[in-house]
Structures are given as C-alpha cells and as structure tokens.
Amino acid sequence: MSIKVLHIDSNHPILWQQLEDAGFENHADFKSSKEEIEAKIQDYNGIVIRSRFKIDKTFLDKATNLQFIARVGAGLESIDCDYAESKGIHLIAAPEGNRNAVAEHSLGVILSLFNNLNQANAEIKSGQWNRESNRGHELDGKTVGIIGYGNMGKAFAKKLRGFDVEVIFYDILENIADENARQVSLQELQQKANVLSLHLPWTPETDKMVNANFINAFAKPFWIINTSRGKNIVTADLVAAMKSKKILGAGLDVLEYEKLSFETLFQDKNTPEAFQYLLEAKNVLLTPHIAGWTFESHERLAQVIVDKIKAVYSK
C-alpha cells in the first residue's frame, strides 16, 4: 500500500524527491486553512509541517489514518504530542539539522554585542565617528552560562572552545556534561555567569521562566542571548533589568510577541511598550527567528526528516 504524505509547508526539494524515490506518494497544500486540511486529512498517512498551524486534538481526531507527523524544525510544541502518541502516531523532528546554524548565530550575536558592532555600523553610516562610546569588551576570561544542553546547547558550547572562557550549563537532565562544558546547578550558574544563552524548548516549565525574580538571582550584571523561544522571557522584566543595568545587552532571535506562524510580528496592531524600548536600545540586537535558518540548515533539516521518515517504515 502506498504511503500518502501531505506537505503543508514548503521545504527543501530533496525532501519531496527522496520520499518520492522511496515510494511515498507526495501531495502538497500550502494555502488551505486548518479547517480545510482537517476535512481531508483522513486520506493521508503522514504530514510534513513547519509552523503553519497547531496540530491539536481536533485535528488529530480527524486524522484517522495518520501514522507520522514530521516537523521540519527543532521543536514539537505546536503539536499535542501526548494525544498524538496515544494514537500511535510517530512524532519526528530534526534538531540535529540546524544545531550548527544556531550555534554559529549565537556566537556571532555575543561578539557583536560585546564589540558594539551593530551600533558602530549604524553610527558610521549616519556620519558619526565615535570611538570611545563604542569601546568593546573581550570574551576572554568570561563565564558563559547555557540553560538547556540538548542539540543546540551542546553545539554552542563546542563553538566556544576556541575562546578562553569557562562554559557552564544547567539542564533538568542529570549527568550530561561533556568535554565542552561543566554541568552546574541553576544557582551556581546564576552566581558565575557573565553571559546567559538560552537553548530551551517552550514548555509549561520554561514559559516566562526568565522573569524579574530569575534575573535578580544573578550575582553579576550579564548579557543575555535567546535563540530558543520568545515566550521563555518576560519582555517587560527584561527591559526593566536593562534599564537598571542588571542586563548589559540582549541578543534576541525570538520574541514573546511572535505569532505561531511568524507571518506578522505582533498579535495585534499595537506595538507593546517593552518592545518599543528594544527597538530603540543600542545594546539590543534583534533578528527575525533566523538563528537556525541558513542555506545549509535548510537542506540538512530536510535530509534529517527524510531519513527519519524512512526509518519508521524500515523497522
């Protein structure tokens, strides 16, 4: 029997081609609404998505023949995973596919913030030549704290090996240290870190984790990098900490205000006050959820997904 796969987001063409070569029957629908997809999902054995809409209980109840859900990305938070697994549906993600991209992006953000590259570039282009106000900091001798030591956190720690820094991490899993970083308690990380880099999924436990109490628990002023999920940080509390100089700078690839589909920046037409501050602050670097979005990772993500789908049917 042919395995029918519905692709509801565009991806690198190798994903489609290699599935076809392996005998899968591909169908594409990049424009229909969630309700329209639900009306026909019973005809499909697999679905390939990025982030167009949530796959919730309603969707899964209509997907009576679904055998796998493949998300071309790192996280599965847009899927009701427990309910899908209760129906015997295989859940596939590809954090291996863009971990290197995220690691390189994180490193670039730190170096840019430390050396005021974004600010200096803007000033030069507007005719200003300000050397003293753009005096930078060196990463050498600093302590970098990573929260979340999965694919992304480990890849970032590996990139830091070329610098004379101490790399420490906190994770809810125990005994996962390697040669690139030392595992510590959250309290020790908050005592020692000069830089905090978040590499977490968005879960009920991590939602709004970086709030005023969390920030104030740090012993020293610090820089913060977030390439994980925007809702892991309370933006208003981040801004308050920047105003008080507890946070020295922020590199944010993800925002609390992102819509799930990333089609527009805000949930409504009003710019939140805290975000307005970030837009104007010189020690803030903002990017549109592109840390894992390189040309290389685009192909690598697709290849990982193809390999994992084929593995499901080779057992």
User: Can you spell out the DSSP letters for the chain?
Assistant: ---EEEE-S---HHHHHHHHHTT-EEEE-SSS-HHHHHTTGGG-SEEEESSSS-B-HHHHHH-TT--EEEESSS--TTB-HHHHHHTT-EEE--HHHHHHHHHHHHHHHHHHHHTTHHHHHHHHHTT---SGGG----STT-EEEEE--SHHHHHHHHHGGGSS-EEEEE-SSSS--BTTBEE--HHHHHHH-SEEEE-----TTTTT-BSHHHHHT-SS-EEEEE-S-GGGB-HHHHHHHHHTTSEEEEEESS-TT--TT-SSS-SSSSPPHHHHHHHH-TTEEE-SS-TT--HHHHHHHHHHHHHHHHHHT--
Which of 258, 273, 298, 300 is the catalytic position? 258
The predicted pLDDT at position 261 comes to 46
Tens of pLDDT along 210-252?
A: 999 999 999 999 999 999 999 999 999 999 999 999 999 999 9
Judged against a pLDDT cut of 70, whether residue 266 lies above it is answered with: no
The average pLDDT across 27-34 equals 92
The average pLDDT across 189-197 equals 98
Determine whether 258 is an active site residue: yes
Tens of pLDDT along 54-101?
A: 899 999 999 999 999 999 988 888 899 999 999 999 999 998 999 999
The average pLDDT across 133-156 equals 96
The average pLDDT across 25-36 equals 93
The predicted pLDDT at position 264 comes to 56
Which of 50, 137, 289, 298 is the catalytic position? 289
Which of 104, 229, 256, 300 is the catalytic position? 229
